[in-house]
Structure 1
Amino acid sequence: MIMTRETLWLVIGFAGQIAFTGRFVLQWLYSEYKKRSVIPVSFWYLSIVGSTLLFAYAIYRQDPVFIVGQAFGSIVYLRNLQLIAKNRQSRE
């Protein structure tokens, strides 16, 4: 089976949406496990993956609302990972 360009972009879009939604499922299950509200580091990695894939999909679709909505998120997610790394280094 040959994948068309349109099908490839649909796969990218759905993969981004699955990763982006999966981060909330991950956070919920991890919080249930810990019996308190917790955001694991993997939440931020899934956020970056999902946001990047959705951003690429939005560009392909030429949807300015979707592009703006996804463009800002990755900055926040990367910053959170920097703060986590900095905090870990200061504790060592």
Structure 2
Amino acid sequence: MMLTRETLWLVVGFIGQIAFTGRFVLQWLYSEYKKRSVIPTSFWYLSIVGSTLLFAYAIYRQDPVFIVGQAFGSIVYLRNLQLIAKSKTVKE
């Protein structure tokens, strides 16, 4: 079976959405495990994966609202990872 270009982009979009939604499930389960609200580092990595895939999908779909929304999020997710890395360096 051969995938069409449209089917391939639908797969990219759905994988991005699954990763993006998965980050909330991860955060919820991790917080339940810790018995307090916690955002694990993997939340930010899933955010980047989901956001990047959804950004690519939005460009393919030529949806300016979706493009702008996803482009900004990646900046925030990358910055949070930088802050996490910096705080680990300071503690050492």
TM-score by length of 1: 1.00
- Which position in structure 2 is the counterpart of 1:45? 45
Write out per-residue CA displacement over residues 58-91 of structure 1, whole angstroms, 9 at most, x where no aligned residue: 0000000000010000000000000000000000
RMSD: 0.2
Q: Distance in 2 between matches of 1:60 and 1:28?
A: 32
Following superposition of structure 1 onto structure 2, how do residues 1-92 of structure 1 map, counting pairs within 5 Å? 1-92=1-92
Q: Matched residues in 2 for 1:79 and 1:18: separation?
A: 22
Structure 2: which amino acid aligns with 1:60? Y
Structure 2, unmatched stretches of 5+, are none
Q: Distance in 2 between matches of 1:69 and 1:80?
A: 17
Superposition misfits of 4+ residues, deviation over 3 angstroms = none
- Using structure 2 for the length normalisation, give the TM-score: 1.00
Task: State how many pairs are aligned.
Answer: 92
* Sequence identity (%): 89
How many Å apart are 1:34 and its aligned residue?
Answer: 0.2
Amino acid in structure 1 at the alignment position of 2:34: K
Whole-angstrom CA distance in 1 between matches of 2:4 and 2:53: 18
**Runs of 5+ unmatched residues, structure 1:** none
